[in-house]
Amino acid sequence: MLKPHLTTQAFPVGFGCAHLQYSSQSRRGSLRLLEKAFDHGITHFDVARLYSAGEAEGVVGEFARGRRDQIVLVSKAGILPLRETYYHRVDRKIRGVAKARAPALTGWIADAVNEPVFGKFSPKQIRTSVDKSLRELKTDYLDALLLHECKAKDIATFDVPATLDKLQAEGKILSYGLATSIEQSAAIIRSFPTLASVVQIPEQNFNTQTWPFLSEKSRLVITHSLFGENLKRLVTLLQEQDAIRQAIRSKLGFDLSKPQGVAQLLMVRALKANPRGMVLFSTSKLDHIQQCVEAAAVAKCPDSHDYVAECLHLIENMAW
C-alpha cells in the first residue's frame, strides 16, 4: 500500500544522491548540496546501498540528523558496492589528489570505479541491506525501499513480497516498490500486481499511453535520468535554432544558449510528462539546484500552462 507521506510533499522534485562523496568532492561539499536542496524546498532524497561505493548513505544520514521528520528517505536493496581493498583506496586517493592539484585535468581523470554486485534479493540479503541502510542513514525506518535493478525471476525465486511484508510489519520500511527498467517493472507488476506501490524508472521511456499501468492512482511513479544524453542532444539541436531559443526565453525565461537553460526545459518536460508523480535530478553544482527548482515552479504554475505547452511543442517538432 502506498503511504500518504510519499504523495503529500509540497514539491514534486526529489534529489538523487548517486553523486555524493566521490573522490573529486569532499564530504562537506556533499552536505552543502543536500542542505541547499532542502533550503529550496526539496524534501525527497533518493539514495542506495550502491551509491558512492557505499558512502552516500552515511552522508545523507549526517544531513538527516535533526531533520528526519521533515524529509522522505528512499533507499534501495539488491546491488551492493564491491568491498574496497587497499588497492581501491589508494587508487581513489591518487585520483582525488591529482584532480585537486590540477583542476584542468578533471575531465581527463576518471573517478575510481568499483564494480558492483547485482542480484542480491534473498531474504537474508534484503534484510541485511535494509539494516545497513538504517544504520548509515541514522534512522529507524525508510519511507520506501526499492528493489534495485530487479527482474521478475528474482521476485519469484526468492519470494521477495514475503520479506518486504515482514519488514513493513516491523516498521523498518513504510512502503516498497521497484527501481528498474520500465520493461521489467511491467513484467513484475503483471505477475505481482500488489508489489509495487512505487515505481522508479528512467524519464526517457515514460509514456502512460504506452505503459498504462503507470497511470494507476494507487501507484507513485518516480522518473529519473532526465539529463545525460538528453541534455547533450538538445543542446546540439538548439545551436542552430535561434528563433526557437528566443521564443522560449521570452515565454519561460530559460536561456537555451547555455546547458543550464536546456536542463531547465528538460525539467519542465519531465514534470509535465509525470504530473502526479515525482521527478528526481542529480547534480554536483550548487547553482544547478536553484535552477531546477525555478524550472519546477514554472512547470507547476497554472498561469504558465499555455506557455509551457507551446514551448514543448516547439521542441517536439525538432525531431525530438
Alpha carbon distances (Å) from 16 to 49, 51, 127, 237, 310:
13, 10, 23, 27, 29
List the Cα angle 130/125/172 in 5-degree steps. 25
Give me the pLDDT at residue 98, please: 72
Instruction: Please list, in sequence order, all residues whose beta carbon lies within 8 angstroms of the beta carbon of residue 5, skipping any fewer than 6 positions away.
Output: 72, 143, 174
Q: Which three cell numbers stand for residue 122?
A: 534473498
Q: What is the pTM of this model?
A: 0.87
Nearest to 37 by CA among 274, 285, 273, 224: 285
Relative orientation angle of helices 259-273 and 229-238, to the nearest 10 degrees:
120
Give me the pLDDT at residue 107, please: 57
Please answer whether residues 55 and 20 qualify as being in contact, where contact means their C-beta atoms are separated by less than 8 angstroms.
yes
Give me the pLDDT at residue 314, please: 85
Nearest to 230 by CA among 192, 201, 269: 269
3-state secondary structure of 140: coil
Give me the pLDDT at residue 180, please: 95
Give me the pLDDT at residue 114, please: 58
Cα–Cα distance between 280 and 132 in angstroms, integer? 24
Give me the pLDDT at residue 25, please: 53
Give me the pLDDT at residue 130, please: 98
Give me the pLDDT at residue 32, please: 93
Structural domains in the chain, CATH included, are 4-81+116-225 (3.20.20.100), 229-267+286-320 (no CATH)
For residue 180, give the amino acid letter: T
Instruction: Please list, in sequence order, all residues whose beta carbon lies within 8 angstroms of the beta carbon of residue 113, skipping any fewer than 6 positions away.
Output: none
Please answer whether residues 276 and 12 qualify as being in contact, where contact means their C-beta atoms are separated by less than 8 angstroms.
no
Give me the pLDDT at residue 68, please: 95
Instruction: Please list, in sequence order, all residues whose beta carbon lies within 8 angstroms of the beta carbon of residue 182, skipping any fewer than 6 positions away.
Output: 201, 202, 205, 206, 211
Give me the pLDDT at residue 206, please: 73
> Residue 39: enclosing H or E segment and its boundaries?
helix 27-39
Low-confidence ranges of the chain (pLDDT < 70): 1-5, 7-10, 21-25, 82-92, 95-96, 99, 103-114, 205, 319-320
Give me the pLDDT at residue 89, please: 63
